[in-house]
Amino acid sequence: MYVLPLLSGGLTLVGAMMVVTCPVAVHAVLYLVVTLLSLAMVLAMLGAQFAAALEIIIYAGAIMVLFVFVIMMLNLGQPDRDREKEWLRPRAWIGPGLLAVVACGELLYGLPTLSDPDGAVFPIDARDVGLSLFGTYVLMVELASFLLLAGLVTAFHIGRTLREGP
């Protein structure tokens, strides 16, 4: 009964630890996508389907595109040929592959229970999320947007400085 939420939460924690400890930036972004998708599964199991959809659309979609753009813009690391050879090695795909298989298995296992709630879960609709984000938590939303903007400007500045260096 509680196996699926615990597995999703564990997958979220393992993915987050791999994001922090992974030395290759592109691999860290892939782990972050897995982490965000498993977090969306946790939100869906808690009855917040709209928040889960926002998690997938905004964070796993738009923010990840922004991160990949910044990584491409900085062009950190090895030359392209060496980087592509490293990506083709099977050991580079073991971690993200296992996490993705576990996430897909959880989704297939939990999908019938999400479509037929037993009445104990109260769904959250778009109006509730909008009232919370732009009512009670409007200051936190604005601070998060400034934090993302500061991170992007800092990454651009560091990349520009490194490129102009020796």
List pLDDT tens digits, range 107-142.
777 666 655 555 555 666 778 777 877 887 788 778
Query: From the centroid of its chain, how far is CA 53?
Result: 13
Residue 90 pLDDT? 78
Query: What would the pLDDT profile of 51-78 be if each residue is shown by its tens digit?
Result: 788 888 887 777 777 777 777 766 655 5
Residue 89 and residue 64 share a domain: yes
Confidence band of 40 (pLDDT split at 50, 70, 90): confident
Please tell me the total count of domains within the chain: 2
Residue 78 pLDDT? 55
Mean pLDDT score of the chain, rounded to an integer? 76
Residue 135 and residue 115 share a domain: no
Q: How many CB atoms lie within 10 A of CB 33?
A: 23
Residue 98 and residue 67 share a domain: yes
**Res. 30: pLDDT tops 80:** yes
Residue 107 and residue 38 share a domain: yes
Residue 101 and residue 156 share a domain: no
Residue 37 and residue 105 share a domain: yes
Residue 57 and residue 12 share a domain: yes
Residue 140 and residue 71 share a domain: no
The Cα–Cα gap between 64 and 70 comes to: 10
Residue 132 and residue 102 share a domain: no
Residue 136 and residue 111 share a domain: no
Tell me the three state secondary structure of residue 120. Answer: coil
Residue 133 and residue 114 share a domain: no
Which range marks the domain in which residue 159 is found?
Answer: 125-166
